[in-house]
Amino acid sequence: MTARTMFDKVWSAHEVVAEAVDTPAVLYVDLHLTHEVTTPQAFSMLRAAGLKVRRPDRTLATLDHSTPTRTDQVFGSTPIKLDAAAKQVRQLERNAADFGIELYGLRDARRGIVHVIGPEQGATQPGMTIVCGDSHTSTHGAFGALAFGIGSTEVGHVFATQCLLQRKPKTFAVNVGGRLPACVTAKDLVLAIIGKIGVSGGTGHVLEYRGAAINSLSMEERMTVCNMSIEAGARAGIIAPDETTFAYLSGRPRAPKGKDWDEALKLWRALPSDPGAKFDASVDIDASSLEPMITYGTNPGMVLPVGGAIPASAGNAVFDKALAYMGFRSGEAMLGKPINVVFIGSCTNGRLEDLQAAARILKGRRVAPGVQMLIVPGSQEVKRLAEAEGLADIFKAAGADWRESGCSMCLGMNGDTVAAGAYAVSTSNRNFEGRQGAGARTLLASPYTAAASAVTGRISDPREML
Amino acid sequence: MEPIKQIHSKTVVMPSTNIDTDQIIPARFLTITTKVGLGKSLFADWRFLKDGAPNPAFILNQPAAAGSRILVAGHNFGCGSSREHAPWALLDYGFRAVISTAIADIFSNNALKNGLLPVVVDETTHRWLLDHPGAEVTIDLESMRLSLPNGASVAFPIEAFARHCLLSGLDELGYLQSKLADTAAYEAAQRK
């Protein structure tokens, strides 16, 4: 039998109707994650057509995108700052109740960013197909699931039929050898990968991250890598499940138990790509040679080692426009540039290990005068754990603002925004123009680099502070 | 949905590469719970100055752009977020097609579901379109060809089933619903 890729195994196990020349595959969806921003129009479609959610038991809802992060707005009596956001929150509460979907509501201890809570609750499992009306659904590929973002019309399709019409994407092996040096993180690795293959390098493909460096990553690090697959244009990212994966999932609320767990393990162990499986494309990266990375432009592919200098433009108008937006010039060093805001959080870097990394830098230090530092846990559970092990005390003592969970300043929908012209070192995933607020200038980096820069008030190399 | 056969229009050219969905429709406009009225916020941060007045330097605010239904954009148009608000905003504004050398996967899927044609062409054709803003071109969905005023006619790919639905004015949901017996059989066989 021909050697198969992991993607191929997961795909074919979910074909309700196989792809043909005239029709795409009808692909079964095991888990549909939903949130308040991309579902209202899909629920309206269901109501207009008199349809039900076919499998509410395979659907899970949370509030994250337009949700407030200020404790008094979540748990106190202060109203949500933005009326439109408040309306979206109320609408999802009503829709979830009307259609019988479980919702982790505003004050629920299980609430958080959709891509943080799925794994945390054990809902995300190897071999599954997982979709959500959010491009960073690729995060769940860290477990050996085929997980990708969809639009609101497709959200409606999944609600009504638990299936999607899909053409089979191509496969792309990202071979990462060696081992990440100290203080160089999964975030630096994925930024380096995007810098190498480009922001459209993965279009039409599912990236399979493989090799010694990937095998040695924790689950949280693997999630950071898979999360940013979409920033290379890829449909999804996927990593073979192994003992690290199984140890992470064991005992989580929605993970299989007892005999079911034993059966699941057998299936999960058969998922990794067979030796000799062919990929449509591939790239090789040596993790050992990597350094902390930071972006300097307006897409995640405009990235360099933090100690580097901004490249020459070579007469490229788009490049020049990006530098003008950022207020940078070719040849300038990144180190030492003054910054205004530091944001630690998001579905990319809002998990416990990310907060532990930030705390390692911030312990016994202070955020530089004039710098605003916002630390937003990826979920209420991450918040609870961070408080229990004293991380929150370190953040508060350093002068950082410690919040309730949500997407927050990654996209600024809830009012947590960066001012026009201000520089924000952010652990999120997109440095697009205006992403964190109209006119905001975003520099993507790891939690280490972000925390180090908060302390000095300038772009800094975290290796000098640990 | 109205059937779509052919789109004939002069073009508007936005040559920037990697125009992401945050530019097409910034996140602060995503708090709506319907699909209507997003056209007024299309490219908001490029189209309007800080005081809310139209930015005269932006292409869509120039008289030559008025009435165009075809946007010619740089490589990798629609990258970033999965927000379907991006094609909704383009359609609400009046666009019916986007032409580029590459269009991001999720954007392309979303566009097809709403009757906005994602037309991917070769670099030579794209170069010609970038160099001739305002050119009167015809996109024919039936034959999957783009005709230029210089007489050139180039083929473009489009997913077969999406094309069928667009030509017939059908909703893809109807097809998925017609397969529900298969879905139920799959669920039973897989114990799902």
- Structure confidence by residue, pLDDT tens digits, A15-65: 999 999 999 999 999 999 999 999 999 999 999 999 999 999 999 999 999
User: Which of A15, A41, A93, A138 would you mutate first to test chain B, the one with the most B CBs within 10 A?
Assistant: A41
Q: How confident is the model at residue A81 (pLDDT cuts 50, 70, 90)?
A: confident
Yes or no: say if A167 and A243 are a contact pair by the CB < 8 Å rule: no
pLDDT at A98: 98
Could you give the CA distance from residue A465 to residue B52 in angstroms, rounded to a whole number?
44
What confidence tens digit (pLDDT) does each residue in B14-29 have? 999 999 999 999 999 9
Contacts of residue A236, defined as CB under 8 A and 6 or more positions apart, other chains included, come to A7, A137, A138, A141, A146, A147, A148, A169, A206, A207, A226, A229
pLDDT at A171: 98
ipTM: 0.97
Per DSSP, B40 falls in state G
For A233, the closest of B27, B34, B104 (CB atoms) is B104
Whole-number average pLDDT of chain B: 97
Which residue, A156, A114, A453, is CA-closest to B84? A156
Gap from B20 CA to chain A (nearest CA, Å):
7
Residue B62 lies in a domain: yes
User: Which of B33, B58, B83, B191 would you mutate first to test chain A, the one with the most A CBs within 10 A?
Assistant: B33
Percent of chain B with pLDDT over 90: 96
For A199, the closest of B27, B34, B76 (CB atoms) is B76
pLDDT at A83: 80
Angle at B121 between CA B119 and CA B122, to 5 degrees: 170
Q: Report in angstroms the alpha-carbon separations of B105 from A166, A298, A445, B100, B139.
A: 11, 20, 26, 13, 20
Q: How confident is the model at residue B149 (pLDDT cuts 50, 70, 90)?
A: very high
Burial of A58 per CB tally in 10 Å (0-12, 13-18, 19+): buried
Q: CB A65 to CB B30 under 8 A?
A: yes
Q: Which of residues 353-412 of A touch B (CB under 8 A)?
A: 411-412
- pLDDT at residue B160 greater than cutoff 90: yes
Q: Is A125 on the interface with B (CB under 8 A)?
A: no
Q: Closest residue of A to B158, CA-based?
A: A22
Residue B1 lies in a domain: no
What single string gives the DSSP state of each residue in A229-253? GGGGTBSEEE----HHHHHHHTT-T
What confidence tens digit (pLDDT) does each residue in B52-85 have? 999 999 999 999 999 999 999 999 999 999 999 9
User: Which of B50, B84, B187 would you mutate first to test chain A, the one with the most A CBs within 10 A?
Assistant: B84
Q: Report in angstroms the alpha-carbon separations of A267 from A31, A127, B122, B157.
A: 17, 8, 44, 38
Strands (E), A311-440: 341-344, 372-375, 401-402, 423-426
- Residue A259, phi then psi, degrees to nearest 5: -65, -35
Strand (E) or helix (H) holding A34: strand A31-34
Percent of chain A with pLDDT over 90: 95
What confidence tens digit (pLDDT) does each residue in A131-175 have? 999 999 999 999 999 999 999 999 999 999 999 999 999 999 999
- pLDDT at residue A358 greater than cutoff 80: yes
| Average pLDDT, integer, range A64-93 | 89
Residue B120 token pair: 């991917």
Yes or no: say if A99 and A56 are a contact pair by the CB < 8 Å rule: yes
Gap from B38 CA to chain A (nearest CA, Å):
13
Any idea what the CATH number is for the domain that residue B46 is in? 3.20.19.10
Q: CB B176 to CB A161 under 8 A?
A: yes
Number of domains in chain B: 1
DSSP lists the bridge partners of residue B139 as B7, B146
pLDDT at A100: 98
Domain that holds residue B105: 6-191
| Average pLDDT, integer, range A294-310 | 98
**pTM for the structure as a whole:** 0.97
Q: Is A157 on the interface with B (CB under 8 A)?
A: yes
Residue B7 token pair: 């789109």
Residue B114 lies in a domain: yes
Q: CB A411 to CB B180 under 8 A?
A: no
Amino acid letter, B67 = G
For B110, the closest of A153, A235, A321 (CB atoms) is A153
Residues in B closer than 8 angstroms to A133, CB to CB, are: 82, 84
Question: From edge to edge, which strands make up the β-sheet containing A441-444?
Answer: A401-402, A372-375, A341-344, A423-426, A441-444
For A165, the closest of B31, B161, B182 (CB atoms) is B161
What confidence tens digit (pLDDT) does each residue in B77-123 have? 999 999 999 999 999 999 999 999 999 999 999 999 999 999 999 99
For B33, the closest of A87, A165, A433 (CB atoms) is A87
User: Which of B48, B76, B79 would you mutate first to test chain A, the one with the most A CBs within 10 A?
Assistant: B79
| Average pLDDT, integer, range A377-396 | 98
pLDDT at A79: 83
B128-137 CB burial, b ≥16 within 10 A, e <16: bbbebbebeb
What confidence tens digit (pLDDT) does each residue in A359-374 have? 999 999 999 999 999 9
Comparison of pLDDT for A426 and B31, the residue scoring more: A426
pLDDT at A365: 98
Gap from A47 CA to chain B (nearest CA, Å):
13
Amino acid letter, B80 = G
Phi-psi region at A82: left, alpha or beta (left = phi > 0; alpha = psi -120 to 50): beta
Whole-number average pLDDT of chain A: 97
- Residues A360-363: contacts with CB within 8 Å, 24+ apart? A360/A448, A360/A451, A360/A466, A361/A448, A361/A451, A361/A452, A361/A455, A361/A462, A361/A465, A361/A466, A362/A394, A362/A395, A362/A398, A362/A400, A362/A451, A362/A454, A362/A455, A363/A394
What confidence tens digit (pLDDT) does each residue in A193-205 have? 999 999 999 999 9
Yes or no: say if A428 and A348 are a contact pair by the CB < 8 Å rule: yes
Q: CB B75 to CB A23 under 8 A?
A: no
Q: CB B177 to CB A161 under 8 A?
A: yes
For A135, the closest of B23, B80, B87 (CB atoms) is B80
